[in-house]
Amino acid sequence: MRIGIVLVSLLVSAPAALRGQAGSPATLPTPEQQIAAAVLALPEGMRAGAAVLGYRSPGASLTELRKGSNGMTCLADDPANPAFHVACYHESLEPFMARGRALRAEGVKGGLVDSTRFREIKEGTLKMPTTPTALYSLSGPAGSWDPATNAVKGGRPLYVVYIPGATSASTGLPAIPAAGLPWIMFPGTPKAHIMFVPEM
């Protein structure tokens, strides 16, 4: 259960291809490889139409690698982190996600990221979707993604449905993780969401 909680707090981690062997120079995956890996988090029928944000050079910020047509945005694996992680979410979540990335880039850490975003949502300067919205992620340890085959060995999927303000009382779902059941995480907050971990 702890795995699911850790996974949802991460939006991006890093490609195996970028790390290479110990002591060897790293190579950034091509935009095509980043796109192919990023959309693995989505159901197969949604992959072709998703927008993808990725990296043009090591150390650079996320930038658009592909425009989308189905309302989904995917984040490529982050070359700065040691494990593989890609995530895709509905475009209405992008202001919230982008603000989190910007705050972390400014050096804001831990709970201050959320407290800042929550304050901005309350003030009306940051928008959250008003209807349920999905996020899909796929994570794996270092070396789990093979850029040649675009396969992730031992990848762990995670699915989330954001329902801002939702609680156990409003949904009938528990706020405490239990094996085999979905649950509400961050109940009563703007980032309240239902957690689904396959094979929970």
Per-residue pLDDT of 176-194, as tens digits, reads: 998 889 999 999 999 999 9
**37 — pLDDT class (breaks 50, 70, 90):** very high
Asked whether residue 25 carries a pLDDT value surpassing 50, the answer given is no
The predicted pLDDT at position 4 comes to 42
For residue range 71-80, what is the model confidence (pLDDT) as tens digits? 999 999 998 8
The predicted pLDDT at position 26 comes to 58
**125 — pLDDT class (breaks 50, 70, 90):** very high
Tell me the C-alpha distance between 185 and 195, whole Å.
7
- What values do phi and psi take at 146, rounded to 5? -105, 110
Residue type, 57: S
Mean pLDDT of the chain: 87
Contact between residue 168 and residue 142 where contact means Cβ atoms under 8 Å apart? no
* Stated pTM of the model: 0.84
